[in-house]
Amino acid sequence: MKAAKVMGLFKISLKEKFNRDIFTLAGGTASGQLLVVLASPFLARMYTPADFGLLGVYTASLAILLVVSSLRYEFAIPIAKRDFAAVNLVALCLIVVVLYALAVGVALCLWGDIFAAWIKAPALTSYVWLLSLSLVGAGGYKIFNFWAIRRRAFPSIAKTKVSQGFGQVATQLLMGLWSTGPAGLICGDIVGRFSGSMAFIPLLKELKKKMKMQVSRRGLLAAARRFRRFPLISSGSGLLNTLGLNLPVLLFTALYGVQVAGWFSFSQRIVSVPITLLGNAVAQAYIGEASGLIYRNPHGLRRLYWQTAGKLLLFGALPIFLISLLSHWWFPWIFGGNWLNAGKFVQLMACAYGIQFLVFPLSQTLNVLERQDLQLLWDAGRLLAVLACFAAGYFFNWNPFITVLCYSIVIFLSYMLHMLIAHNAMLSFEKGDLSLDG
């Protein structure tokens, strides 16, 4: 009886700690995103839809480049069994990011204007070289963020969200007063990314000491070999995943121009606030908890998955769906008449945003189980479906609203399929079909 009581208290303690981690991260993310939300009505009147269209093209291009900036080794940092392997993974990721950013910088100097012409956004030529700088800031933040997850330093992560939001908004508002056009939006994005990394400084002092003592050529090679599935399989999967999410902005620009792309990217910017607010917080806490469960209680992973999914559906997905249905009314009222069509886009994407909020925080389950092969197949299938959607829009000369509706249906069905794949993968793991070592 005593043993059972102790185990019961232990489970309650774990559950409370998990919820506390979620609320800590959500609080930090909420503060940072609140700044973005409060500034958006002003930014929407300072900048044109075309300006936001160029920002959307810039951030979509950055997201696509960023996904392989450290060859996905950063995802192995929280799940490595020993600190020695994790520290060497951090060092390996930093080396790869710097070399990658330099290579991208050279490529953009040579062919950046060709890329801008291809997507019919020639104004991007003036800013495309900044992508190399953004890669350093965003790549470094991503690596340090996963180290913080490993250390359960969730308060530090929460602080970075506030720093990011403040740096981004302050820069965009100040430059907007001088009518700088898309340059103000892009510079604000860059400042925000670097501001986030600065908040990790106290945590990085400890990491620096560990790196001096533990990082070696042998350790780097050992870490690279042990987690080779991440660059070999997860890099391709991650690239396909990011293409599926960010390619639509580039395709909207190529098909309908930067103004329509601005409506689409601005609508995503606004609706992503609640998704980011709780979704990222749950995702990071979920990764931390799931990474431990695969070793100490494999059967508990599936229970954690569906319990978390139920809470996300009730407290997030359904409210987002209902609010999105009314966006054609509140969008122009809050952001101005120029953004009516952006509100209509949100309305058409209601189902997609709801399911995205539900599945996104749980999508790292396949990475935790090291089933990157399944993630790769899913990402490839979704990307093909997205490309088919825009190809249909091009060949049948659809207007932007029909294309958005088609895209929304593709996203909804693909996320439903992801949940089924994750469920089956967890069942296979429970039966002992896979073992995790290292």
| Residue pLDDT, tens place only, 328-341 | 899 999 999 999 99
pLDDT tens for each residue of the chain, 438 residues long: 444 443 343 344 445 666 677 677 767 777 887 888 899 999 999 999 999 999 999 999 999 999 999 999 999 999 898 999 999 999 999 999 999 999 999 999 999 999 999 898 999 999 999 999 999 999 999 999 999 999 888 888 888 989 999 999 999 999 999 888 999 999 999 999 998 888 788 888 888 888 988 999 999 999 999 999 888 877 877 788 889 889 999 999 999 999 999 999 999 988 877 776 677 778 877 887 888 787 777 788 888 899 888 888 887 778 888 888 889 899 999 999 999 999 999 999 998 998 988 898 898 898 888 887 888 899 899 999 999 999 999 999 999 999 999 999 999 999 999 999 999 999 988 887 555 554
So where are the chain's domains?
A: 15-430
Burial tier of 237 (Cβ tally within 10 Å: 0-12, 13-18, 19+): buried
Q: Are 401 and 358 within 8 A, CB to CB?
A: no
Distance CA 273, CA 383 (A): 24
Cα of first residue to Cα of last residue in the chain, in angstroms, is 36
Helices (H), 179-326: 182-198, 201-214, 217-226, 229, 235-256, 258-274, 281-296, 299-312, 318-325
215 Ramachandran zone, left/alpha/beta (phi>0; psi -120 to 50): beta
CB 278 within 8 A of CB 319: no
Identify residue 291 by its one-letter amino acid code: S
pTM: 0.82
Task: State both tokens at 68.
Answer: 């392989």
Residue type, 373: D
- CA nearest 267: which of 63, 40, 54, 46? 40
Contacts of 407 (CB under 8 A, 6+ apart): 248, 349, 352, 386, 389, 390
